[in-house]
Amino acid sequence: MTRLICLSSGKGGVGKTTVAANLGSALNEFGMETVLIDANLTNPSLGFHLGIPLYPETLHDVLKGDVDIKDATYLHNSGLKVVPAGLSVDDLKNTSPESLPDVLLDLVGGPDFVLIDSAAGLGNEALHAIESSDELLVVANPDLPSVTDALKTANIAEQAGTDITGVVLNRVKGSSSELESEEVESMIGYPVISSIPEDENVQDSISLKKPLLHHKPKSNTSERFRKLAADIADIDYEPKVRESKGFFSRMLSFLKK
Ligand code: ADP
Ligand code: MG
């Protein structure tokens, strides 16, 4: 059965596209056929994250009724299947997301997972992406403005009848000024199902135009994405946590040799 999962947030820039690309890669590694949809119609960015060249057919053409969604699905060199959004000014101005629920239905029965990378906020684009999906992953950062806005996204999903799988807390630094997972859970009313650390390798992976799972496959952050994917796909997986050795512990193990 194909599961349609939307990644959305109240606030922009919290890491929806990063989580979508890496969760998709992790699901793919587990042998789950996964299609990533760039449903951020006015501000597409999945193509930038994955280095997708300009394709002849995009989600904008699909929404205009000009092509079938299967013909706008491309195989990325990471093994992911991607439906990119158009980048022309004409596309960005003149496409409406109303037909998104219908066009996504054409994928049902094919892949195991369809991940819908939505626009932030409460506008039409985000609304139709949430309405089109069976499940919602709310992406938020551990700060008050982000979590307050995420609560509004959760309310929209409740009104649309979309199940809320949980919150992915991204860019967690572990500083005392951050909201704890428990605080986020009591504010939003849904469980935090994953905490993804702040990791400078994420920015590097985006500039290299590949998912972090391909750039730093053994990193703890990549393992967090694998664990999230395993939990979503109901697969048993024990993440391998690597000790980050500081200078003094490295010196100590050197002297002990
Ligand atoms: P959104 O899709 O919600 O607008 P993006 O995924 O594009 O957000 O991320 C916005 C920026 O935040 C990117 O430049 C990315 O480098 C940075 N970022 C996202 N997640 C992390 C992380 N876990 N650690 C460090 N930087 C991150
Ligand atoms: Mg994005």
Residue 245's pLDDT is what?
59
The residue whose C-alpha atom lies closest to atom 9 belonging to ligand 1 is: 15
79: left (phi over 0), alpha (psi -120 to 50) or beta: left
In 3-state terms, what secondary structure has residue 220? helix
Check residue 54 and report its DSSP letter: -
Q: What's the 105 CA to ligand 1 centre distance in angstroms?
A: 29
- Tell which one of 137, 199, 202, 210 to mutate to probe ligand 1, the residue whose CB is within 8 A of the most ligand atoms: 202
d(C-alpha 158, C-alpha 164), whole Å: 8
Is 196's C-beta closer than 6 angstroms to any atom of ligand 1?
yes
Q: How is residue 122 written in tokens?
A: 């409460």
pLDDT at position 253: 59
Residue 16 beta carbon below 6 angstroms from any ligand 1 atom? yes
Q: Is 95 in the pocket of ligand 1 (CB under 6 A)?
A: no
Check residue 28 and give its pLDDT: 96
Report pLDDT digits (tens) over 74-114.
999 888 999 999 887 777 777 778 889 999 988 999 999 99
Query: Is residue 26 a contact partner of residue 228, using CB atoms and an 8 Å limit?
Result: yes
Residues of the chain whose pLDDT is less than 70? 244-257
